[in-house]
Amino acid sequence: THEPASRFDLAERLRHCAGAWEQALRARGVTLTLALAEPLWLHGYPGACQQVFQHLMDNCLLHAFAGRAGGAIVVEARAGDGAVHIDWRDDGVGIAPEHVPLVFEPFYTTQLGLTGAGLGLASVHSMVVGLMRGQVTLDSAPRRGTRVSLCLPCGGDAP
């Protein structure tokens, strides 16, 4: 990214994104619940964080709720131990166990030619781990939804 690092409130950034997603969520009958500690200060890359959230939302709308109307996404975020911890959960179709270890690989998709190019979660991993020096994990099971957990170091002089 060419974006300079800056101090920003991640909770405010998530609320901004949620406003931008309102129409797409309503059209699909998907609810989004934000459970955010206030404020969540980071010294990092607000644009990259927004891209991460967009990829996670796109992934939910393209895959988690494919072929069905309705669903729920819950995003929880809190600060602790010098980092911001984010849990992004959906109640979608889930991911088969044999696919879970591969989801962060570039171009990995089980629906080649049908949806995206398999770059969304690879981009999430690259930005969170490479750029932000954080961690990202994914837990999922068929018919039980998916949880993506992010841990982003506060960095800089963030409280």
Please classify residue 37 by burial: count the beta carbons closer than 10 Å to its beta carbon, then call 0-12 exposed, 13-18 middle and 19+ buried: middle
Q: Enumerate domains of the chain plus CATH numbers.
A: 6-153 (3.30.565.10)
Note the pTM of the prediction, 2 decimals: 0.88
Does residue 116 have a pLDDT over 60? Answer: no
The residue written with tokens 């990829």 in the block is 55
Please state, for a pLDDT cut of 70, what percent of the chain lies above it: 87
Does residue 9 have a pLDDT over 60? Answer: yes
